[in-house]
Amino acid sequence: MKINTSFYLFILSFFALNLSSYSQEDISWAEAKEKKSASLDLHWYISKPFIYLNSHQKLEGLEVEIIESFKTYVKEEYEVDLQLNWKESKSFYDIIKNTSNTNKPNSFGVSAFSITNKRKEIVKFSSSYLPDVAVLVSSKGTPIVRTLDGINKMMKEMTAVTIKGTTYEQLLIDIKRQLNLDFNTLYIKSDKNILDEISKADDRFGFIDLPIYLMLIKQGESLTRQNFFTIKGDGYGFIMPKNSDWSIIFDEFIQNPKTTTQLARITSKYLGPELYNFIDGLYNEENISASILTKEKELQLEQLKTANLLIQQEKNNQFTYIALAISSSILVAITLTLFYREQKSSKALSKKNEQIEKQQLSIKSKNEQLSNRNLQLTNLNEEKNNLVKILAHDLRSPINQITGLLEILKLSEENISNNGKITINQAQDSVTRISQMISKILDFDALEGNRMKVMLEDINVSELLDSIEKELEVLADKKSIKIDYKTNEVISIKSDHLFLTQILENIIVNAIKFSNKDTSIDVLAFKKDNEIIFSVKDQGPGFTDEDKSMLFKKFQKLSSKPTNGENSTGLGLSIVKKYVDLLEGEVWVESEKGKGSTFYVALPNV
């Protein structure tokens, strides 16, 4: 009997230990709060810069730091100790498969997972911690396609590169099905870099995350991005089983204001502050492709400036070496004249001259490199202008059709509800803004192509300001901005009426955009010597010295932003500069940060 009792006690103890172990291994968030401890199984596969092993075989990456921050958050807010069990998987696809099949609520998938509706059917996602934009990249030198026939021809002759089980693969499948395309696909392991594989041949293409592509551009590498294939996703997140309640605390962590600051710091560490801020604000842009194109040009310009600086430094060093060589030659010549007479000193000087000639040849080679780099930049700029012009022209026809349809709807407004009328008016406002943006782009293209001619005529300045006041009255009233138009005397000027109107409207509209509600703008015209001067003074945020140096250049991002979220093409003031130059005048700005701005336009009084 004693033996049986001992045996039963042993069996019960064995089961108790196993039950305790099981509950610790498979633990929900609700249970973790009660027990004040839990372990998380974190299944991962390499995906730089999100998660990878460094040179010391230690895990690092922005997702690793996010999980560590989550551990700290749970400890500080709920006094729950978390044990992190990092488990490397065989592939990216295996993580999704195993997470969808497990019943362990404390099992996480960590490998830069894009949030998609298809994946939501089998796993649960955390809230997004970073916007997700994918772009299609092809081998260096591949032409940028602009038509469906061009796309079909390019992809028939090329091979797609992707990783199985990823959104990259799904995007390729989607365009193959939607556009009825036919192309071969090369699958690589998920620890390989798609961009590296594309770079190895001149007939490859594939989808890649925008941050990874921009980091490549920032490093000075060069691949071709196809503008028509820019896909905006729902963001990156972590995955869990469908039955997991750990998403509750994880979403609370992601949405905490302190976490937002931590996420910005962590992401900036791996992507760089400039790329993080660009990607974080990209979702609010109206035209993502145009914004990416502008950022590409900015990064390429930075690379070119850096290269030019290095070349200039090398040239300066070479000039220094030349000066030192010449000085040395003179000293050597004097020394040799004293000791070895004329013959030996001549030989030494000849050798120094040979060195100088080699350095001059090196300088010439560097100058040729600089010239080639500038030519490449010019070609890139022309390609960008052509793309913008094509898009603007193609958009005009559907916009005109939309405008016509809205006018037809307004004719039968007695049958439309008040909400319907408001919607129609809002649609008309949006179409008008898009049409104005297209006109600015086409005007700027015409200016750059020198296709604009000056048509001089006598202009009454007071009448001109009256017409501009009526034109911009509604825009100013929307922000309760008072605009005061003044002329000190009766002024007449011989100039191009259209150009002068565009100049003043652009500057005044800019002042309205950058002014707060319930402020005022002063517009003044007066004579000074042999010039007519127009000034526009606002109470906006003003500009820094760096902003002022970029104001009249195209596609520039300034520190000051429109105060009511208005759209900006980055062309307005560059168009003003072009028009003023055509009229043989001058334009400048006087401004201090936080003290408003005053723009001046001086035109000859002929």
3-state secondary structure 144-158: CCCCHHHHHHHHHCC
This prediction's pTM: 0.45
Mean pLDDT value of segment 77-90? 95
**pLDDT score, position 18:** 42
Which residues pair with residue 598 across a beta bridge? 537, 590
Q: What is the pLDDT of residues 219-277, one digit of tens each?
A: 777 788 887 777 788 889 999 999 999 999 999 999 999 998 898 899 888 887 776 77
Give 453-509 pLDDT, tens digit per residue. 788 999 999 999 998 998 899 889 999 999 999 987 878 999 988 889 989 999 999
For 181, left (φ over 0), alpha (ψ -120 to 50), or beta? beta
Q: Where are the domains of the chain?
A: 456-604
Question: Sign of torsion, CA 431 436 439 445?
Answer: negative
Judged against a pLDDT cut of 70, whether residue 298 lies above it is answered with: no
Sheet (strand 133-138) strand order: 184-187, 159-162, 204-209, 133-138, 224-232
- The string of pLDDT tens digits covering residues 571-584 is 678 888 988 998 99
Query: Per-residue pLDDT for 2 more than 60?
Result: no
- The percentage of residues in the chain with a pLDDT greater than 70, rounded to a whole number, is 78
Is the CB of residue 572 less than 8 Å from the CB of residue 520?
no
* Confidence at residue 14, expressed as pLDDT on a 0 to 100 scale: 43
Backbone angles phi, psi at 601, to 5 degrees: -130, 120
- Alpha-carbon gap, residue 571 to 383, rounded angstroms: 17
Distance CA 558, CA 566 (A): 14
**Number of helices and strands in the chain (H, E):** 19, 19
Determine how many CB atoms are found less than 10 A away from the CB of residue 138: 25
Min mean pLDDT across 37-51, 301-315, 591-605 is at 301-315
Q: What is the topology classification, in CATH, of domain 456-604?
A: Heat Shock Protein 90 (3.30.565)
**Cα gap 506→468, rounded to integer Å:** 11
Q: Phi and psi at residue 544, in whole multiples of 5°?
A: -80, 170
Confidence at 166, pLDDT banded by 50, 70, 90: confident
Q: How wide is the angle at C-alpha 380 spanned by C-alphas 395 and 454, nearest 5°? A: 65
